[in-house]
Amino acid sequence: MAGSTVSNRGDTPPLFRRRRRWPLVGALAVAGLAGVLAVWWFVWVPNWRPPLEEGERYGIDVSSHQDVIDWRQVAGDGIKFAYIKATEGGDFTDDRFEENWRGAQDAGLDRGAYHYFTLCTPGAEQARHFIDVAAPENDALPPAVDLELVGNCSARPSPSEVKGQLGDFIRLVEGAWGREVILYVGDDFERAYPVRHELDRPLWHRRFLLRPDLDGWLIWQLHGYARVDGIDGGVDLDVMRASP
């Protein structure tokens, strides 16, 4: 009996051994999934560009956040147009607007200027500031206005007040440029102030990786993590259609 007892203590039941393996298998599976997701997020997403349909072309939108840009390298990486931040509110001018405006033109890219619209400054004042900085040019792309609550001031005027101020901005800018303004409308802004279809202007729509699911879009922003030659770090990647 004593010998039998020693032998039994050295044996581990098969069921117990299998149970001990499951946590290890689970940990390995989680690590493998995390690795796949990391490759997808940090490698595939920044380098993926959707197939273009007829009349479409790749572009980017930039501001001083991208720091110094080598525009000739950008153009050599298949980028055909760029929207460049010019102004914000009634008195802010992007530090690199002039540099980027000239650089994109010298590299042969079509370029357009955009304005970040604030809810704390009259629309007419913002329009005059934008026109002073981004003077109308016949060979430039139509001007664009960025409408988002993220990064905006704390004021939340009524929808009727915002509609009036935005209307003043659009009227003055379109009068100076002689072309319709393109509207970039964030989902947060649209929920508070529905303007996408009410204003009936070409739309610049952000939808992560998937083509826009609304009518009237002219520019599709895929995401803000693209790798483009000539730019350090991620940048917004866009696709422009020939017409909305």
Identify residue 229 by its one-letter amino acid code: D
Q: Tell me how far apart the alpha carbons of residues 99 and 64 are, in angstroms, rounded to a whole number.
A: 10
What local confidence, expressed as pLDDT, does residue 67 receive?
97
* Burial class for 103, CB neighbours closer than 10 Å (0-12, 13-18, 19+): buried
Q: DSSP string covering 16-75, please?
A: HHHHHHHHHHHHHHHHHHHHHHHHIIIIIHHH--PPPPTT-EEEEEE-GGG-S--HHHHH
Confidence of residue 121 (pLDDT cuts 50, 70, 90): very high
Q: Tell me how far apart the alpha carbons of residues 236 and 165 are, in angstroms, rounded to a whole number.
A: 28
Q: Tell me how far apart the alpha carbons of residues 68 and 94 are, in angstroms, rounded to a whole number.
A: 13
Pairing of strands 81-88, 92-93: antiparallel
CB 105 within 8 A of CB 151: no
Tokens of 147: 């409408």
pLDDT in tens, 79-99: 999 999 999 999 999 999 999
Q: DSSP string covering 169-232, please?
A: HHHHHHHHHSSPPEEEE-HHHHHHS--TTTTT--EEEE-SSSPP-STTEEEEEEEEEE--TT-S
Identify residue 30 by its one-letter amino acid code: V
Instruction: Give the CA count within 13 Å in the CB-facing half-sphere of 200.
Output: 0
pLDDT in tens, 138-162: 999 999 999 999 999 999 999 999 9
The pLDDT mean for the chain works out to: 90
| Sequence-distant (≥ 6) Cβ neighbours of residue 202 within 8 angstroms | 142, 180, 182, 183, 216, 217, 218, 219, 244
Q: Tell me how far apart the alpha carbons of residues 171 and 242 are, in angstroms, rounded to a whole number.
A: 24
What local confidence, expressed as pLDDT, does residue 243 receive?
72
Predicted confidence (pLDDT) at residue 242 exceeds the cutoff of 60: yes
Stated pTM of the model: 0.85
Identify residue 64 by its one-letter amino acid code: S
What local confidence, expressed as pLDDT, does residue 5 receive?
47
Q: Tell me how far apart the alpha carbons of residues 83 and 237 are, in angstroms, rounded to a whole number.
A: 11
Nearest to 228 by CA among 9, 103, 46, 3: 46
pLDDT in tens, 175-221: 999 999 999 999 999 999 999 999 999 999 999 999 999 999 999 99
